[in-house]
Chain A
Amino acid sequence: MAVIHSESPSLELPENVVVSRLDELASWCRKNSLWPMPFATACCGIELMATGAAKHDLSRFGAEVFRFSPRQCDLMIVAGRVVMKMLPVLQRIWQQMHEPKWCISMGACASTGGVFDTYAVVQGIDRFIPVDMYVPGCPPRPEQLIQAIIDLQDKIQAEGTITGREFNTRQRQDKKRALVECPETLTLDASRNPNLQRELSNSAINVN
């Protein structure tokens, strides 16, 4: 026999207990511990170093550890122009990073090619890499890069899931397969559809 207790709607929790969704908790952890992979090729790399240095401290936002191994990072900051000789390297580094991973395109050259509209410079890395945040500037000031990381943190908190479902774009857009396959023959029921009746009669006239 089950006894139903009608409890008060608002549950009394002690102060050191937090109730949340697992997705939000995982996103909170991930956004506050972004480890950047500095892919610095040119002058923006200097500003990236300045952002990580003492005055504009990036470690305030959890992004202290600038690991140079892609296996240990989850945020790739592409700072500087990327030439066509470097692009396969960039793609390989991106593929070596583990998911969940995000990309910031820092500076004008990484976003659009900048002033270098030449035969050797890729006009924007987002042609070949999925980019989450763009930072304009030549070079952007450290405060701009910090703002980009803050905005990326907001994006991660808003869209993040613990399993990384937001990255499986094609899987989310494909229709799920049914357990029972539909039969091949398709019957058109025109009893309640005058347009379809007209079409079927027209096609019957054309066929005949």
Chain B
Amino acid sequence: MTNTSKTSTSNAVENTHVRAINAFCGPVESSIYRDQQRVIVPVEKCFDALSMLKDRGFDLFIDVTCVDYLEYRKAKHRYGLVYLLASTINAERLTVRTFVDDPQPTVASVVPLWEAANWLEREVWDLFGIHFTGHPDLRRLVMPEEFTAHPLRKDYPLQGRGERHNFPVITRDHS
């Protein structure tokens, strides 16, 4: 368990949550970067750790997003999921990270815990292709429904694969 802290003042408050997670799912990595506490949990214990954090007062779900480490030299896994939690009761923030891999990256959905995760997880599915089991309505959010690829992956070209021009042309004849 590495605990590289850059500040020494507010360690005690954050570390209680980290200690709880440690007690719950074994030793986890944690670090503080610019006053932000982050914890890395394994993916199979992710849902339980998040529900435990919700019971400990993290009632505001800020964001879930994803990072594609395909071209990162020191990467051990391809996708890194980032959960941003906040507590309106205690005025704290916490970042929970998990890692998932190809093929078929899957993680448990946190929609039963926080309703706000509904569209956020749909966006991650749409743009990265990470499947959330238990999500009530997992479909595309920002791309059109007939879009087939996951565009924010690193192996998808920026200009796309021709989907943006695959539409019928209306000329003056039949308009």
Contacts and interface: CB of A to CB of B under 8 A. Distances in A.
Contact of A119 (B151, B171, B172, B173): B151
B175 A130 contact: yes
Interface string B143-174: 11000000100001111110111011111110
B160 A130 contact: no
Contacts, number: 60
Contact of B171 (A84, A87, A130): A130
Contacts of A95: 170, 175
A119 B158 contact: yes
Interface in A78-128: 84-85, 87-88, 91, 94-95, 101, 117-123, 127-128
Interface string A161-173: 0000001111100
A148 to B, nearest CB: 19
Contacts of B168: 91, 128
Contacts of B170: 91, 94-95, 128-130
A94 B165 contact: no
Classify the secondary structure of B's interface with A.
loop
B159 A118 contact: yes
Interface in A133-170: 167-170
Contacts of B163: 84, 119
B50 to A, nearest CB: 31
B165 A127 contact: yes
Contacts of A123: 164-165
Most buried by B among A94, A119, A128, A167: A119
Contacts of B171: 130, 169
Interface string B21-62: 000000000000000000000000000000000000000000
B144 A84 contact: yes
20 contacts: A85-B144, A91-B170, A117-B158, A118-B158, A118-B160, A119-B151, A119-B157, A119-B158, A119-B159, A119-B161, A119-B164, A121-B164, A122-B164, A127-B165, A128-B167, A128-B168, A128-B170, A129-B175, A169-B172, A169-B173
Given A88-B167, A119-B160, 8 more contacts: A85-B144, A101-B175, A118-B159, A130-B170, A167-B172, A169-B171, A169-B173, A171-B173
